[in-house]
Structure 1
């Protein structure tokens, strides 16, 4: 009997890793360090929660169905702020609000691909992108990242066939943390445009980019929407993970197709979450700047303290946004090492094998550290535990 597509798709990695905790106890003097998931564990800041409480009580529309493509005021605010921050022109009808950034990716793929089509994604990849392609009957074409974990458009060109419908990039990258240079994104845009395919750029972590100013100039091209589809998440910026609010910025004609997908799946994005995202965009600029500084401080702590691991043969392959991507020195696969670290070091993280196709080398020596929820002292504690391993 033929397997369903979900049965043929690998299990959600974060949920699988959580099962490694079952039956393991952690002493009080060595509590678990959970660096497995790239999501804030704190609730939204108090002013935003207060605003949300007021919305719940006073805004009757927040409890009803809304427009499929999202709250008009939020779409307009995204368009205004994007136009300013990217020095380009984004119109409100080129913005749709989705139930999280994963849904934005799913919706985009639904408008681009038919059975057996292909999408090129760099590896190590964001596993949910691979999962959705598998469940959609779309073939993932892996593009091995190059020096500094940055993919090369020249290498990508050799992978494009008459079934290729898109190239999907994530910058700052998940899982590697690296920030793709503007010229890299420009080269991929030119490649996609030359082949009349889409360039999907997931910028979930754009608010924590270490660079000042716009990270790229793709939106400054007046014809950007003939090729570019940008994805975004409000979850990381305003700690709205449980409210599932994301966005897709694309040609208005594509959003008309995306509307079909969204209407069928969720009817409309979470109404309270949308209003919270709008309030955050309009009122929490200074607070978000402080959050960015804190993440950059933790990134600096990773780099400053990595010598503790480098002295034991570890390598730092990439670092930025919420992530450090490392190479371990042990004579075992990361798929075996990661569960062992729960018991031996009180550390939960994800193995590189979860970010790579099973038939490609490299993942067995790699690990992802999601450091957004450990402070600078926690970073040092993490490295001290890992450096003291005797395996």
Structure 2
């Protein structure tokens, strides 16, 4: 007998951490960890002070509303409306214990056993894991060298069992920012096909574009097709406090509420209060955080030529991620543990983001640079450029 959890793979980040066991790193060559996209710095001091005050409020330690604190729902709806030049109402917002729970709750509300959800590849592995554990088939939508999915290619994958298409932009793992016209094409396809379009915008706050990334919230009755997911973790360094959100129609939120009430009863109260304080007070600070991430993105591009000369390819970069193709003979899942020992770099192989039968994952790595500054990026690229592993035959003949 196979349980639900046995139907999927082990958590990739935890698997990668095991590659560190028994490996030591000298002080002059410390580990460069680019395996996880979670800020390691704590929230800014002013937010921590506000959280300390909230700790003294007795209500912080009690159950709250299943769909989240009303003030947070209202404020997020106002921010969402302003950012997208559209309309979102508080009753269309649910707060969740992190964005992964937002995805899980949404898919549970949408899907039954044997249904299908289309995921562009490379995909975010936790999305694939949840669908596996739910008995829902993940239908892989291959992307080209630019990692941008095609709505027309997705059209050919839609069947009577398809319930949704799930996109992540800026993308995890690829880093690419989906163009507004791409999102509009997927929205039109989903509406025409009677399915839902899920857009996970966990990294929205680090999008490089000065204008709204899409206009979907300005479409009449957008909530009958579109579901947006969000995370406060990356913007406000609240990863350990687990605060995310779903923006969708109220009928779907009523179904999501059943899931949330059963699993977590309510989102963590302290994290919600911190998220609300952040929305109300940290706009300028977040602008600075975005500028720093954009500078790190620029550093990736600045240093990429030394890898390009060695046969590497930059497939995508943006938000917290760079997605790169390597030139070596062995696949990335074999090379990743060796990368720890030979270069002092912990990175996730592309095989963790691709179907097992897709060989493209073996040529790829994800670099998560949220915790690596410009100087660290320079050192990272120097270490990668110094690798002298055997090249793939196509590289040798070139």
Q: Quick check: 1:365 aligned with 2:369?
A: no
**Which residue pairs with 2:396 in the alignment?**
none
Shift of 1:148: 1.0
Structure 2 gap ranges (5+): 390-398
Q: Is the 8 A contact 2:93 2:247 kept in 1?
A: yes
Name the residue aligned to 2:247: 249
Aligned to 1:216: 214
**1:264 aligned partner:** 262
Q: What residue is the counterpart of 1:80 in the other structure?
A: 78
* Equivalent position to 1:388, from 386, 391, 397: 386
Rounded Cα–Cα distance in structure 1 between residues aligned with 2:58 and 2:91: 25
Equivalent-residue separation in structure 1 for 2:121 and 2:96 (angstroms): 26
Aligned with 2:146: secondary structure? Answer: helix
Separation in 2, partners of 1:72, 1:145? 40
Per-residue CA deviations over 1:223-270 (Å, capped at 9, x if unaligned) read: 110100000000000000000000000001110110000000000000
The equivalent residue for 2:393 is none
Q: Secondary structure at the match of 1:300?
A: helix
Normalising by the residue count of structure 2, what TM-score does the alignment of the two structures yield? Answer: 0.97
Structure 1 position 133 matched with structure 2 position 142: no
Matches of 2:256 and 2:46 in 1, distance apart? 33
Measured after TM superposition, the shift of residue 110 of structure 1 is: 0.5
**What SS does structure 1 have at the residue aligned with 2:271?**
helix
Q: 1:18 — aligned with what?
A: 17
Q: Decide which of 305, 315, 318 is 2:316's aligned counterpart.
A: 318
TM-aligned CA deviation for residue 378 of structure 1? 0.5
Cα RMSD of the aligned pairs, angstroms, is: 0.5
What is the distance in 2 between the residues matched to 1:133 and 1:359?
18
Which whole-Å CA distance do the structure 2 matches of 1:127 and 1:145 have between them?
A: 16
Structure 1: which 5+ runs fail to align?
none
Q: Which residue of 2 aligns with 1:307?
A: 305
Mapping for residues 53-64 of structure 1, pairs under 5 Å: 53-57=52-56, 59-64=57-62
Helix, strand or coil at the partner of 2:323: strand
* Alpha-carbon distance in 1 for matches of 2:86, 2:216: 8
**Ranges of 4+ aligned residues in structure 1 off by more than 3 Å:** none
Residues 1-391 of structure 1 mapped to structure 2, 5 A cutoff: 2-57=1-56, 59-391=57-389
Shift of 1:147: 4.1
Tell me how far apart the structure 2 counterparts of residues 85 and 222 of structure 1 sit (CA, whole Å). 17
The number of equivalent residue pairs is 389
Aligned partners of 2:25, 2:182: CA distance in 1, in Å? 44
**Structure 1 length-normalised TM:** 0.99
